Chain A
Amino acid sequence: MIVIVDYGMGNLNSVKRRLDSLAQDVVISNDSRVIAQAERLILPGVGHFGQAMDNLKKMSLIAILNDLVIESKIPVLGICLGMQLMTKSSEEGDVEGLGWFDCNTEKMKVGNNSIYKLPHIGWNTITFEQSNQLMEGIEWNSEVYFVHNYGVYNAPQNQILNHTDYGSSFVSALQKDNIIGMQYHPEKSHDVGLQILRNFLKFN
């Protein structure tokens, strides 16, 4: 079973609809008894980092997530805010995250060039350093869809999956063993996004 964790942040149906086209047994849930049975987890999310951590705490979901991801090591995919929550902290609200990746989320650094507005909304390209199961069938510089104000700039080299340029280069996806985070929205990224989701479902 693939569980999309519903912690009250944004729209989950578009993720579900895309996954439904690739797999059976995709459910949206905020119930820790259901989440506990997951073989794969999706942590989506749109909105404010501080609010999201608050929701996870209030809904008592952090323990079960840590248990599944750190102890049982099931594959987990964080999307957009979901990826940021996996870092140690964010400048947005200045609060601690889940700390699964050894890096922090910062305000986007775009410089003073008027072309690079914030939020970073729209299509941009991803690069990747080495062959990775998650990038199977994906061409170098493929376009994916972004919507965000905050991002990751400094991460351990072996946890970086993708880079993207927006005013300066930032880390647009992270991977550490079973844990994957994507700043972009694969569920909104046409064929490229669908292929990335397909790769995640096969990832082991």
Chain B
Amino acid sequence: MYRPRVIPVLLLKNNHLVKTVGFSNANYIGDPINAVRLFNDLRVDELVFLDIDATKSGRCIDIDLVREIGEEANMPFSVGGGVKHLDQIRDIIAAGAERAIIGTQAVESPNFIIDAVKHFGTSTISVCIDVKKNIWGKKKVFIKNAKVNTSLDAFEFAKKMQTLGVGELIVQSVDNDGKMQGYDLELIQNISEAVNIPVVALGGAGSVQDLRNAWHIGKANGLAAGSIFVYQGTKKGVLINYPQKSEWFY
């Protein structure tokens, strides 16, 4: 039987793992390679790595680090952060990643997405859509680490990405990031029901129940989160963890 993937999302800053709240206040979590080893032992479905400084610094996620991750990871993984050239995607895939994740560049250069899909195939290209409410409560696509409002409607942008041939959408709520109070289920559901490519929910999960909701209510194919997989307890002590598969969908 098919089931959605439960995906820890690990944020990188200076090649260290961090966790943010609302895309700010990066808190140091630990070493990425060590985390991969722990997640191997926990038999996780998939991992996502995002370099949150890459776009701002005008570079791509460190390919050497991706290679190190590829040498350790026993599970499929995707990486993103500053990806804007076909060569970078080639390097990322050669390093062992399943997919390259594209964010800012998907907004700034739709032609790049068309080229990337043509060269590497639909199932190799994911687009991460960072969504934030504007002052009137409209859900807009933000880029450059959520610093810049593109004024693009999140829902319309998602449909456009499908048209360009993207194989997967990661729909991330900037407002909910790190708050651990649940996903933006309305956003996830609206996009999931409007596209026929897989949608990964991200931003706000605080419990296994939130993951279940993203599947049952949000209709997401991937249930992604940061905080719940790297923190434990109300004081947010760092602890790499992963729910037992038997807990997930009941």
Contacts and interface: CB of A to CB of B under 8 A. Distances in A.
Q: Do A and B bind each other?
A: yes
A196 B222 CA distance: 26
Interface residues of A, number: 32
Contacts of A11: 70, 93-97
Contacts of B96: 11, 13-14, 17
Nearest to B67: A13
B168 A121 contact: yes
B43 A117 contact: no
Given A123-B3, A124-B2, A188 B76 contact: yes
A145 B76 CA distance: 8
B5 A119 contact: no
B1 A124 contact: yes
Contact of B122 (A115, A123, A149, A165): A149
A116 B199 CA distance: 11
B124 A116 contact: no
Contacts of A125: 1
A73 interface: no
Contacts of A124: 1-3
Nearest to B168: A121
Nearest to B245: A143
Contacts of B34: none
Given A119-B122, A119-B167, A122-B221, A188 B75 contact: yes
Contact of B219 (A10, A114, A147): A114
Most B Cβ at <10 Å: residue of A10, A46, A123: A123
A123 B94 contact: no
Interface residues of B, number: 36
A122 B5 contact: yes
A190 B75 contact: yes
Contacts of B123: 46, 119, 121, 147-149
B209 interface: no
A38 B60 CA distance: 38
A152 B120 CA distance: 22
A10 B237 CA distance: 39
Given A46-B124, A147-B123, A123 B43 contact: no
B4 interface: yes
A118 interface: yes
B5 A123 contact: yes
B187 to A, nearest CB: 16
Interface in A124-156: 124-125, 141, 145, 147-149
23 contacts: A13-B95, A13-B96, A46-B93, A46-B121, A114-B193, A114-B219, A116-B2, A117-B195, A119-B167, A120-B2, A121-B123, A121-B168, A122-B2, A122-B4, A123-B5, A123-B45, A147-B123, A165-B2, A166-B2, A188-B98, A190-B74, A190-B75, A191-B43
List the 8 closest A-B pairs by CB distance, nearest first. A119-B123, A117-B198, A47-B121, A122-B5, A124-B2, A188-B76, A147-B123, A14-B96
Given A118-B197, A122-B222, A123-B2, 8 more contacts: A13-B70, A13-B94, A13-B95, A18-B74, A114-B193, A114-B196, A121-B198, A121-B222
